[in-house]
Structure 1
Amino acid sequence: MRKIVVFLTVILVLLMAGCIGDQKSKSYNDKGLELYNQGNYVDSISEYNLALLENPKSAEIWVNKGNSLLKLGIYGESTECFNKALLIDSENSEAFNGLGTILSKTGNYQKALEMYDKSLNIDSENSKAWNNKGITLTNMQRHSEAIECFDRSISINAKNSDFWYNKGEAQFKLGKYQESIDSYDKALLIDEKMETALLGKGNSYLKLQNYESAIECFNTAETINPKSEYPPYYKANAYRDTENFEDGLKYYDEALEINPSNTDVLINKGICLDNMKNYSGAISIFDSAAQINPKDVQIWILKGNSYVGLKDYEASISCYKKALEIEPENENAKENIDIIEKII
């Protein structure tokens, strides 16, 4: 009888220790999730590590740690976490979703799609996996298929602003500008301070040549994030497109004060100067852009065009040839050389 009592006591102690360990693990994991949702990924990992000390067999905690590492761009360790989760639970939809996201971010799109499909075969209601699959398809220029995925994610969770925004981006790339505005508006109903949705909406209005509405969107975005170069940059494009070049230059300069290394802003400022027939000024700006990204074919072609404006045909041909060194089959550069050679 005494042996039975001792045995039961030992079992009870072990069970109590396990419960205490589980409680500690849950507490650390919950704290990690809280920090993750606040964007504090480094500290969230510390909490997940404490949780794993208490419960190393939790697939959920390994996935959560993997997600934090993924946000920090530490893909190798993140992959290890997702794989450890799958060793514990081979049917973990979130682990496959995480692996798919790593593959997508590193440009391995086809393998990423395979991971998302595995995730969705396990849990067809995983809205994040549908969304991430849509992002990957967008990166592959398969925009119609991407929209189908975003629609699936929205049907599961219509209150996620990112899902609506991503759908708007795919619609924009298909040239469905009014439809994209509708999607951006849905995102903004959920999160009225979503800067990316305001910028996307503004650019859709630009494509529809509704410049007043576009500038209104960019102004609102600027109040939300005055440290971003994109609101003044896109505003500058709107003024340039309406041939208000002086205001265009003002806002390009404002954008470059925030980020002098943004080659897109430099290129468009150069185009603006070229449109004003300030060819020397345009060439100077294209030179600045080429110092940052010398492999950008567009910069060399635009610089060549500005030299044509100065009637410096030898310099223009030199620029077009530089473009062909980077991209030997570039038809624009070839055609421009043929035209110049006929002139001289």
Structure 2
Amino acid sequence: MQVRSDVRLADLTTLAVGGPAERLIEVETAAELVTAVRDADESGRPLLVLGGGSNLIAPDEGWPGDVVAVRSRGIERTGNSLTVQAGEDWDHLVGYTVEAGLAGMEALSGIPGSTGATPVQNVGAYGQEVAQTITEVHAYDRHEKTQRVLSPADCGFAYRDSRLKREPGRFVVLEVTFALHRGELSRPVGYAELARSLGIEVGETAPLAAVRDAVLALRRGKGMVWDPADPDSRSAGSFFTNPIVPAERAVEGCPSWPAGDGRVKLSAAWLVQHAGFGRGTRDGHVGTSSRHSLALTTEDGATAAELLAFAGRIVATVEERFGVTLDREPTAVRP
């Protein structure tokens, strides 16, 4: 393990906000990760576990304790099953599955961050989500002070949600096991925009590599592939989830999709745009992306407080105009 004290959280997150970390501890194995977490807990030091930093709004005052950066790597294959270390780069893993002829993750290409973070948020895009492929989450339970293997039922997956997210700080993901499908064709494409770009109908399949390339192109067009040279990628991707409401509360003109149990999922991007926060809306050092209104971006000099205040104005305006409450995707941490 390496311990440093000269690092700003802004340099470890894609939103590039956040003050200094009192102690940055970089771990390269699951065992080191458990040791670092136990040491912080036993000493009473505040603990922040950090993966790829792509879903985090770090505090301006910094972190007065241990920031454990998960750098573990490794993909172990058994048949069509992959057990992946928490620190493995997510898009690298997706690329691996496509090259290996394993279907089930291809539409999740280009999402920044680490593999260990994906079950927490139940990451999803373009008609796929990780809950469809996860069979086990190996985690350290800080409450019980022991390692556990969580089944999908234990994880309580829901739309962009899980038990791991609902019990913040309790579980530290060590590795994740996925079950995929062997073959050169994707799983049925369930997202209309992706199907159109592939020239197929929703529900049809396409070569894995073609789906990956199409998703990467779509995401780049929206500034949602991390690129230090692209100011529109200085974000956390989609800042708000698509709200799910009773069908009778659907907003006139807003695109919607069936969400089961008499509910519909509304387009958060449409709500944000029609609340007056279209692409490229700026307020100080923060604003909406010039290519996608659902992504909030920062410039040099931005603070977490400034970003959260801007996001709060969007939430308040959408609620006032449409009676719908937007929920934030990235996590804002406090010491």
Decide: shared fold, TM above 0.5: no
Normalising by structure 2, report the TM-score: 0.22
TM-score (normalizing by structure 1): 0.22
**Higher relative helix content:** 1
Q: Which has the higher contact order (CA 8 A, sep 6+)?
A: 2
Q: Whose strand proportion is higher, 1 or 2?
A: 2
